[in-house]
A and B are shown apart, each in its own frame.
Chain A
């Protein structure tokens, strides 16, 4: 369980990081290393070049401005979980951040890393989709902004291209109310399945994660008031998703967590 040999560069500015990424196609960005390093130790990931961005201070900013939460790629999960501004602007994001791994993992793991890794069972990518967020990417060619729904493409698969660096996530401050719930075997684990619920007046959306290869956001025109009607609707929605036939448990759970998230959304703010 030792990684294959690799070259290592430590960048101190975004520009420097981009230059390295440009010069070394196939290189990987090292941030918190909470997923990448274990994968490298298993030799499941074997980048020839690592570009360490931990020294890039400008990627470590977290602010709420212009009706958006702006989260630098290098912000640690624990920073997000503890931010008073975030808790005020998008409380569900604080709640979800507290469910990412354990404290030690949250202290080290970064927002950008989580989004780049795109584990279908992780909380943050799904939050980004549920909250209509977007990913700001920069490369030698310039900057572009992708809606989260387009960014996440499938199992550990994103719109990231060679030479791209995630610099920031942006999440609009919404008038909707949101709820979050997940099922885990042990506190801190990746979710077996989880859900975010959006309630915007009588309509809204449900976003599931851990069900298929990516977070799945499904709009709801009108939330039924009664629990059985709501469950029936949720069951229909789950039924339309590409969930493996063998995953009976997950389909059943998906409805239950969504229902719990729905009640969470009632209590928010």
Chain B
């Protein structure tokens, strides 16, 4: 068989096929779904962090003109409870008690959202407040009480230790301790969550429009929770304005909307507003790490000991708690790109009276990188060594691949040291140190932070679920045009472009002849969806597998119809021809016509038509991308305000499908990373009230906060299909650490080091004053 054609589209800077509709306002998001008679939902949410519900009076609301129905737990007796993993589940609508501010208690279904909100105000819920559980360390000790009477607060506990750890740790000549804290954040997608559901009276099927990342997972969840067979449910994911892992979960509101459509046989829609988004989208990053590091005189790190703690909130998000995700993987990749032989980790994930923790881009990574790079910098400062040199000394070397880390994770090949050297060049490290010294004389404090990251991608299980493979159905239509369908759930990543690029190379057709469908369970083959940086390597792998199968079929057709050997057939520009004899050619259209209309001419052994579903399950359970981010910051020591002034990235995600898209992903991740490092925090007061309930209080990075970003690509192919590695999370894994390390570097004359994110102005001033 002929090898894959010289790739033309893979690696090309193809403009995103999605952009014209997005940029011209033609894209249709969830709130654009309108059908006649559609009702809208408003939720009454808990104003208490913890309370018993004594009574619920919905009569006044039920009688407000325009109100169609009011639902409580009685009308929607569904528990979002993954019983295999957790002793606790969350009722879709509160059942006798509430456990966090923002928990849905009652749903009002009305002619429009205005009336629904008017009616929601008329509902009287009598609460008896209980002492909330808000402090992570206390909660782990079961103080002041258990969040759920019948379950211990610590719901996930795991210890792991490299054999020989204690001896190695004790034998090291230097030890340091530090406690690292990351504060609650959430994804804040530009388009909030939303769901619309409607029953087709004729077929009895339920259609659910869902702003989600995993269409098939959503179908499974809705079917399981509401006890409907899956062939009677169709999930359609319209345009999604950002997911970032936050939209990987199934939420109570999804279930309530679907239940309302079933129960009242009316189309029903709910769209989250920003207040709901901040209090009820899964939160993330609520972690504490108590760490000890052991190293020798040269700065070679020998052992790390970490007590990882995460506050999972009131309930495990369904079906999976982000606290477990953040700590579980952090404990396995805590050594990052460094060859640190000994690791001991203890994990405690606790319940609290806060919003459930779920996944947010990078999940474990931004936290682990913050610690890993923070430790390297502490070692460097302790020994008065250059931070870049300490990294060089500890970095995993080329000859060590495949590398097994101290937690027994296997890393495939990467460009760890090379990426750092490239990034140092991009930022002009040597010059910077000179400039830094001069500026310090003038009372200006600039710093650089180096963040070398590893990013496990294309994992067998991730927030996208346990489906380790992805599927692609290719149908070449009688016209020769291509319809390809995937089970992916893109939320802005440009899969329609990248998947079409891969298919175009395989099928020898122009990009414009391919349409990529996704997000509709009626058209898409079964798949895991988008999350955990899997769509490129696994979805792309499925495109390559299916594309290759289709390519083989096209070649058989061409060889048969052109009376040539299969080895001599070439494909391109929508045609097949005999190598070296371009006149002996036919179009893909002709092949397609034959396959569908002129079936007597189909080569022996081939089926009628041109339709194939290919599936791809990577051989390795994970492939590691890597790279280095370097941030330069200036810290105003009089106001405590941090400005990120320059930024360099050397990124290696294996073979790049589309550099422009990869760079866009990096730009977004860096912006979010700057937010994580200096701006974004969800704050609760001592009563468990969320006090950051608008974007006036929850500060997102704005264009003026993000500097120009220089990106350099390195390509170390994976062993998987196409050599592709995932890359959607690495930028947010690396960026917070880069900025945090840069602030520590800038403030080195004052002695302190950043140990808490985000770094707020008052924290900076304290570091300056504590000198």
Contact = CB atoms under 8 A, between A and B. Distances in A.
B761 A4 contact: no
Contacts of A253: 639-640, 761
Contact of B639 (A1, A4, A43, A256): A256
A186 B641 CA distance: 9
Given A186-B699, A256-B639, A249 B765 contact: yes
Given A2-B117, A188-B702, A248-B762, A183 B641 contact: yes
A76 to B, nearest CB: 21
Interface-central residue, A43, A248, A252, by most chain B CB under 10 Å: A252
B704 A1 contact: no
Contacts of B19: none
Contacts of B274: 1
B113 interface: yes
B761 A5 contact: no
B702 A192 contact: no
Contacts of B21: none
A192 B679 contact: no
A119 B369 CA distance: 40
A4 B762 contact: no
Contacts of A189: 699
B761 A186 contact: no
A260 B636 CA distance: 13
Contacts of A183: 639, 641, 761
Contacts of B694: 38, 42
Interface-central residue, A3, A43, A185, A187, by most chain B CB under 10 Å: A185
A242 B275 CA distance: 32
B118 A42 contact: no
Contacts, number: 52
Given A249-B762, A252-B765, A187 B118 contact: no
Contacts of A185: 641, 679, 699, 761
B275 A42 contact: yes
Nearest to A190: B696
B638 interface: yes
Q: Binding site of A, secondary structure by majority: helix, strand, loop or mixed?
A: loop
Contact of A249 (B114, B117, B640, B696): B640
A196 B490 CA distance: 50
A5 B699 CA distance: 30
Q: Binding site of B, secondary structure by majority: helix, strand, loop or mixed?
A: helix
Contacts of B117: 1-2, 43
Interface-central residue, B113, B639, B699, B705, by most chain A CB under 10 Å: B639
A186 B765 contact: no
Interface string B81-93: 0000000000000
Range of interface residues on B (Cβ < 8 Å): 20 to 34
Given A4-B118, A42-B275, A249 B761 contact: yes
B762 to A, nearest CB: 4
B273 interface: yes
A185 B701 CA distance: 10
A189 to B, nearest CB: 8
Range of interface residues on A (Cβ < 8 Å): 20 to 34
A252 B639 CA distance: 9
Interface in A16-55: 38, 42-43
Interface in B262-308: 273-276
Interface in A183-214: 183-190, 192
Given A2-B117, A5-B114, A249-B761, A186 B640 contact: no
Nearest to A248: B762
Contacts of B640: 249, 253
Contacts of A260: 638
A38 B275 CA distance: 11
Interface string B106-117: 000000011001
Interface in A156-196: 183-190, 192
A30 B679 CA distance: 32
A121 to B, nearest CB: 11
A39 to B, nearest CB: 10
B118 A186 contact: no
Contacts of B275: 1, 42
Contacts of A188: 702, 704
A5 B273 CA distance: 18
A245 B3 CA distance: 73
Contacts of A256: 638-639
A228 to B, nearest CB: 15
Interface string B627-643: 00000000000111100
Interface-central residue, B114, B275, B640, B696, by most chain A CB under 10 Å: B640
Nearest to A184: B641
Contacts of B704: 186-188
A117 B73 CA distance: 41
A189 B765 CA distance: 20
Nearest to A257: B639
A47 to B, nearest CB: 15
Interface in B628-686: 638-641, 679
Contacts of B699: 185-186, 189
Nearest to A193: B639
Contacts of B641: 183-185
B116 to A, nearest CB: 8
Interface in B687-719: 694, 696, 699, 701-702, 704-705
A186 B114 CA distance: 33
A123 to B, nearest CB: 16
A33 to B, nearest CB: 15
A5 B117 CA distance: 11
Contacts of A248: 762
Interface string A233-269: 0000000000000001100110011001000000000
A43 B273 CA distance: 13
Contacts of A252: 765
Nearest to B679: A185
A5 B762 contact: no
A42 B278 CA distance: 14
A150 B699 CA distance: 33
Contacts of A186: 679, 699, 701-702, 704-705
B457 to A, nearest CB: 32
Contacts of B639: 183, 253, 256-257
B701 to A, nearest CB: 8
A164 to B, nearest CB: 27
B273 A192 contact: no
B643 to A, nearest CB: 10
B328 to A, nearest CB: 33
Contacts of B761: 183, 185, 192, 249, 253
A3 B121 CA distance: 12
B721 to A, nearest CB: 43
A101 to B, nearest CB: 11
B113 A2 contact: yes
Nearest to A189: B699
Contacts of B701: 186
Interface-central residue, A5, A183, A186, A189, by most chain B CB under 10 Å: A186
Interface in B724-771: 761-762, 765
Nearest to A102: B702
B767 to A, nearest CB: 12
Contacts of B113: 2
Contacts of B705: 186
Contacts of A187: 702, 704
5 contacts: A1-B274, A1-B275, A249-B762, A249-B765, A252-B765
Given A183-B639, A184-B641, A186-B699, 12 more contacts: A2-B117, A4-B118, A4-B121, A42-B275, A42-B694, A43-B121, A183-B761, A186-B679, A186-B702, A190-B696, A249-B640, A249-B762
Per CB-CB distance, the 6 closest pairs between chain A and chain B, nearest first, are A1-B273, A249-B762, A256-B638, A183-B639, A2-B114, A187-B704
Interface of A: 1-5, 38, 42-43, 183-190, 192, 248-249, 252-253, 256-257, 260
Interface of B: 113-114, 117-118, 121, 273-276, 638-641, 679, 694, 696, 699, 701-702, 704-705, 761-762, 765
